[in-house]
């Protein structure tokens, strides 16, 4: 017993020695002195109820490490292999009610500075050592890190344009951080979860995958990274799910467009199956197909020869027949007119009935009184006719001092008045004139009639050269019309609507001699009456009307209309259309087709038409592909605002035609706007993308701009279907100081996925208001019509010699077809072929095409080239080729007076010209 007790104490003494040795070593190492109390009660090895946990220091806040053990006489922390000073421990003891054992708990603080100052192969760590009477126990190592999260993502998600049902993969690599950041995805600021949508997969690698894109998946996606320190947002990635267009089924072939002969059939399809969406590609290929067709021409019926007469019947009659089968009517042809049976008396009236001659047999209702009445009526009629003849002769003699015989025959002609022009007397100029009675001012149109003949029809008498002008409803000018008029006779002339690119040439000889017409030309400025069922056709120029509708011409007029299309038959289907009586529009011809009733010549900026019928015409374009381009004219105007500190910039986007820009000029002239930069052209593609207008490089220290106006946008349909109407947006600026007098900035106008144009603005805003007429306006232009030789570049004598030379077939091949070829007008020759003088029509078209140039070089060069081709020697040329003289005369012509917008005219035949009429 004693030995056992002694042995126990020896053991305890050993432990104490070890303890003290450890304390000594520790003290030598750290300067700490552990408690000198010894375990005095039996127990077990310490068991940790709480071990220190890995922790993160956020910013500068220290973290706490906690150990709890039972039974434990002492607990100390050891960090990075060294004991923590006893003074840094916070200890407490309490009794566990369940076991009755003492529980010891120790707490230390670890600061950010301690972690930052530690440099070792491992992370900063700490553990607990607990003592009991049986020995020591160690806890797990707890690491301590400084928590952080960088600002910049290692990889931001990128925006995508994905076809519907395609796969969307958005990559995201969060910023570097401790602990590692967790990633979430936001779509339009709402959380995206793969738990609620099987089509979405959020991977452990932080990427977002949408297996089959839907239209609803379009939106703004953001990668959200977060840890215990902070949250970071990536750049926003815009995802657009687009739908490529698909063609619908072809429509049925249309009926043949001509009732007889070779024509065209069409069928169409639309890019609506599906329609392109969100920038999807427009359908590739043609939306319209055309094939030739042959409509069976109607064949009218014709009578066969009469059959032989039948034998004379007892009624003294004989008969014969004929059939309508020579040929029989076919294909909607007209049946034969007239009777198919004929009956006649076969005895010459001598057949008797009851012993009397047939011509002596009278119906009972006839008696001699009828013969008396008949002869009395005839006698009265003769007397009345004689009186009328005498009255007319006396009336004509009394009116002989006038140059025009006016016969009021409205009662006989259904409301029309006939004007017959006498042959001029000797010594009077040989042209038709209007004369008014003495005491009345002269009129350029018949008295009692309106100048406008919008709904008129004209009928000519076959026996006299006269003019019939209807009393139909007049075409009254309105504020929505640009209008010019002029009186034209046999010498012809030209009508021009100033600064619009619209003109009308009336050729020499188109109006018969001794006849004059008051002609007009009108541009519709109101809401366009042109509408289409599918909405895919647009106006490429203004709607133009010329008349009067009953105009009777022997050769076509040449009308010029400026247009805004980049002409390309692969991308455009351009048609000429005419307004019908019910105000609908019908197709006259497609510009790439050939026609014998109309001629259409497309230049880069103008369309030249040869027309036989007055009416309203419009040039219409249908885009066949997204590569179709129409030109826009861009201009920027400026003016002072409501206060002296305000200044307004207005940017206009309008179809690139002179007429379309007139609306801009009129608007800005009324408000005193100044043109700040030369107008520029922007190609606008038919690719369904919008037009954006930016203001840039505004000096921030001098000017401030109204918020949210630096970028403005026009939708595609607004620009594409503007139909000659101007679009504009405004930028409101304010001077920061009254001393600021200069403004410089840039206006960028660009089509999304298209072209861009820059307008440079540099202006002084302190200058007094000036007359704001843009430099491109012809302010001195007042001549809107010109008649006679002065209206033409080609002198009349030269024109007549050219026609005489080339209208007649020549053994050397010098005919009008060669002339057309050398003037680059050799398309649709069948139209010229049907004209009475093909060369005259070709020259009229040349005149219309070259009205803006002031010389005849191209015509002279063509004639000279023809002469070189067909002449073997200079001598032979001078004798046989009249074009050599023509070239000489064309080169010596003197310039005439220019019509507005026509440039200089070359003409040396000004004698006997009709006086000029101005609008």
Say whether pLDDT at 100 is over 50: yes
Token pair, residue 883, equals: 């074009």
Mean pLDDT for the stretch of residues 779-796: 76
pLDDT at 402: 36
| pLDDT at residue 284 greater than cutoff 60 | yes
Residue 24 confidence (pLDDT): 34
Q: What share of the chain is helix, strand, coil (3-state, %, to 5)?
A: 20, 35, 50
Question: pLDDT above 70 covers what percent of the chain?
Answer: 71
Q: Of the given ranges (279-283, 678-682, 690-694), which has the lowest mean pLDDT?
A: 279-283
pLDDT band at 900; cut points 50, 70, 90: low
pLDDT, tens digit, for every residue of 791-829? 888 888 888 888 888 887 665 566 888 888 888 888 888
Summarize the confidence of residues 61-73 as an average pLDDT.
91
Of 139, 140, 132, 138, the C-alpha closest to 72 is 132
pLDDT higher than threshold 80 for residue 233 = yes
SS (H, E, C) 16-27: HHHHHHHHHHHH
- Cα(693)–Cα(730) distance, rounded to whole angstroms? 10
Task: Output 236 or 378, whichever has higher pLDDT.
Answer: 236
134's tokens:
């049986």
How much is the pLDDT for 851?
Answer: 82
Residue 550: its pLDDT value, please?
83
Residue 22 pLDDT > 50, yes or no? no
End-to-end CA distance of the chain: 147
pLDDT mean over 289-312: 88
**Mean pLDDT over residues 834-861, rounded?**
84
Average pLDDT in the chain: 76
In the predicted model, is pLDDT for residue 893 greater than 60? no
pLDDT (mean) for 491-515: 90
Does residue 220 have a pLDDT over 90?
A: yes
Tokens of 71: 């039974």
Average pLDDT score over residue span 120-124: 85
Sequence-separated (6 or more) residues with CB below 8 Å from residue 220: 187, 188, 236, 237, 238, 239
| pLDDT one-digit tens code per residue, 129-176 | 999 888 899 999 999 999 999 989 999 999 989 999 999 999 999 999
Please tell me the distance from the alpha carbon of residue 617 to that of residue 542, in angstroms, as a whole number: 9
The model's confidence at residue 492, banded by pLDDT at 50, 70 and 90, is very high
pLDDT band at 377 (very low <50, low <70, confident <90, very high): low
* Residue 54 to residue 297: CA distance in whole angstroms: 100
- 25: confidence class by pLDDT, cuts 50, 70, 90: very low
Q: What is the C-alpha separation between 646 and 736, in angstroms, rounded?
A: 10
Specify the pLDDT at position 71. 86
pLDDT at 875 over 60: no
**How many Å apart are CA 912 and CA 676, to the nearest integer?**
48
pLDDT at 762 over 60: yes
| Residue 274 CB neighbour total at 10 angstroms | 13
pLDDT at 395 over 70: no
Mean pLDDT of 505-528: 86
More confident residue, 348 or 19: 348
Distance CA(715)–CA(732), nearest Å, equals 21
- Most confidently modeled range among 19-23, 47-51, 589-593: 47-51
User: Which band of pLDDT confidence, cut at 50, 70 and 90, is reported for residue 444?
Assistant: very low
Give yes or no for residue 586 having a pLDDT over 60. yes
Partners of residue 220 on adjacent β-strands: 238
pLDDT of residue 19 exceeding 60, the answer is no
Q: In terms of pLDDT, which residue wins out, 384 or 825?
A: 825
- 547-569 pLDDT, tens digit per residue, is 998 888 889 999 999 999 998 88
For the cut 50, the answer to whether the pLDDT of residue 476 exceeds it is no
pLDDT, mean of residues 215-244: 92
Residue 221: in which H helix or E strand, if any?
strand 219-226
Residue indicated by tokens 């070089």: 857
Residue 745: per-residue pLDDT: 92
Confidence of residue 458 (pLDDT cuts 50, 70, 90): very low
List the single range of 123-132, 238-247, 355-364, 513-522 with lowest mean pLDDT.
355-364
pLDDT of 535 over the 70 cut: no
What is the model's pLDDT at position 610? Answer: 92
Q: Is pLDDT above 50 for 634?
A: yes
Structural domains present in the chain:
47-146 (2.60.40.10), 629-764 (2.60.40.2660)
Higher pLDDT, residue 332 or 622: 622
């Amino acid at each position: 017993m004693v030995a056992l007790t002694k042995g126990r104490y020896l053991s305890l003494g050993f432990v104490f020695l070890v303890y003290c040795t450890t304390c000594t070593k520790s003290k030598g190492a750290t300067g700490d002195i552990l408690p000198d109390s010894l375990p005095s009660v039996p127990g077990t090895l310490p068991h940790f109820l709480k071990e220190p946990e890995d922790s993160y220091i956020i910013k500068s806040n220290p973290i706490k490490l906690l150990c709890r053990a039972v039974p434990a006489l002492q607990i100390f922390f050891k960090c990075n292999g060294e004991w923590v000073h006893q003074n840094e421990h916070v200890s407490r003891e309490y009794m566990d009610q369940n076991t009755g054992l003492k529980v010891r708990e120790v707490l230390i603080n670890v600061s950010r500075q301690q972690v930052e100052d530690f440099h070792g192969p491992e992370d900063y760590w700490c553990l607990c050592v607990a003592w009991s009477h049986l020995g020591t126990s160690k806890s797990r190592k707890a690491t301590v890190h400084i928590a952080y999260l960088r600002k910049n993502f290692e990889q931001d998600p990128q925006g995508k344009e994905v076809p519907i049902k395609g796969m969307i993969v958005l990559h995201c690599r969060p910023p570097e951080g401790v602990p590692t950041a967790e990633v979430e995805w936001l779509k339009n600021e709402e959380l995206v979860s793969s738990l609620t949508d099987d089509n979405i997969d959020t991977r452990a690698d932080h990427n977002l995958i949408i297996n089959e894109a839907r239209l609803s998946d379009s939106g703004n996606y953001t990668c959200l990274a977060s840890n215990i320190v902070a949250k970071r947002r990536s750049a926003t990635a815009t995802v657009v799910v687009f739908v490529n267009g698909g063609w619908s089924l072809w429509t049925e072939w249309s009926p043949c467009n001509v009732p007889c002969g070779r024509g065209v059939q069409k069928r169409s399809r639309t890019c609506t199956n599906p329609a392109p969406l969100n920038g999807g590609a427009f359908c590739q290929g043609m939306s319209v197909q055309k094939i030739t067709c042959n409509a069976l021409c109607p064949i009218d019926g014709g009578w066969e020869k009469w059959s032989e007469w039948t034998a004379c019947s007892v009624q003294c009659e004989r008969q014969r027949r004929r059939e309508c089968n020579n040929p029989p009517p076919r294909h909607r042809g007209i049946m034969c007119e007239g009777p198919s049976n004929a009956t006649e008396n076969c005895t010459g009236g001598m057949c008797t009935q009851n012993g009397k001659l047939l011509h002596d047999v009278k119906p009972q209702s006839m008696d001699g009184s009828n013969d008396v009445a008949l002869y009395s009526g005839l006698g009265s009629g003769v007397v009345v006719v004689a009186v009328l003849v005498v009255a007319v002769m006396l009336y004509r003699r009394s009116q002989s001092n006038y140059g025009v015989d006016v016969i009021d025959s409205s009662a006989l002609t259904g409301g029309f008045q006939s004007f017959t022009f006498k042959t001029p007397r000797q010594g009077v100029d040989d042209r038709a004139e209007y004369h008014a009675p003495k005491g009345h001012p002269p009129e350029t149109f018949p008295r009692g009639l309106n100048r406008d003949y919008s709904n008129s029809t004209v009928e000519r008498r076959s026996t006299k050269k006269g003019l019939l002008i209807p009393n139909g409803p007049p075409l009254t000018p309105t504020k929505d019309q640009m209008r010019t008029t002029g009186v034209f006779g046999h010498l012809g002339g030209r009508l021009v609507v100033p600064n619009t690119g619209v003109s009308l040439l009336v050729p020499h000889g188109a109006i018969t001699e001794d006849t004059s017409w008051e002609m007009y030309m009108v541009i519709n400025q109101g809401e366009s009456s042109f509408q289409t069922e599918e909405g895919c056709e647009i106006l490429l120029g203004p709607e133009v009307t010329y008349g009067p509708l009953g105009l009777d011409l022997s050769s076509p007029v040449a009308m010029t209309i400026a247009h805004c299309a980049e002409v390309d038959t692969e991308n455009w289907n351009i048609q000429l259309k005419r307004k019908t009586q019910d105000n609908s529009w019908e197709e006259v011809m497609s510009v790439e087709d050939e026609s014998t009733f109309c001629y259409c010549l497309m230049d880069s900026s103008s369309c030249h038409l040869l027309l036989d019928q007055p009416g309203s015409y419009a040039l219409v374009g249908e885009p066949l592909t997204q590569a179709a381009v129409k030109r826009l004219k861009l201009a920027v105007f400026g003016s002072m605002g409501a206060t002296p500190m305000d200044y307004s910039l207005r940017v206009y986007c309008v179809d690139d035609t002179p007429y379309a820009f007139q609306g801009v000029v009129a608007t800005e002239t009324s408000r005193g706007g100044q043109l700040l930069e030369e107008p520029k052209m922007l190609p606008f593609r038919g690719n369904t993308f919008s037009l954006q207008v930016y203001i840039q490089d505004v000096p921030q220290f001098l000017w401030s701009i109204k918020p949210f106006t630096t970028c403005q946008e026009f939708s595609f349909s607004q620009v594409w279907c503007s139909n000659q109407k101007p679009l504009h947006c405004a930028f409101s600026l304010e001077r920061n100081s009254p001393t600021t007098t200069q403004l410089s900035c840039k206006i960028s106008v660009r089509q999304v996925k298209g072209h861009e144009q820059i307008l440079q603005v540099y202006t002084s805003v302190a200058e007094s208001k000036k007359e704001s007429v843009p430099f491109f306006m012809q302010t001195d232009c007042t001549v809107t019509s010109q008649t006679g030789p002065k209206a033409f570049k080609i002198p009349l004598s030269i024109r007549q010699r050219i026609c005489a030379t080339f209208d007649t077939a020549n053994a050397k091949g010098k005919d009008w077809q060669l002339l057309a070829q050398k003037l680059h007008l050799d398309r649709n020759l069948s139209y010229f072929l049907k004209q009475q003088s093909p060369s005259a029509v070709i020259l009229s078209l040349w005149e219309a095409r070259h009205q803006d140039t002031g010389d005849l070089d191209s015509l002279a060069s063509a004639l000279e080239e023809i002469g070189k081709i067909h002449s073997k020697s200079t001598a032979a040329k001078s004798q046989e080729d009249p074009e050599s003289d023509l070239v000489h005369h064309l080169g010596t012509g003197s310039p005439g007076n220019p019509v507005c917008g026509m440039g200089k005219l070359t003409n040396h035949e000004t004698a006997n010209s009709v006086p000029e009429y101005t609008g």
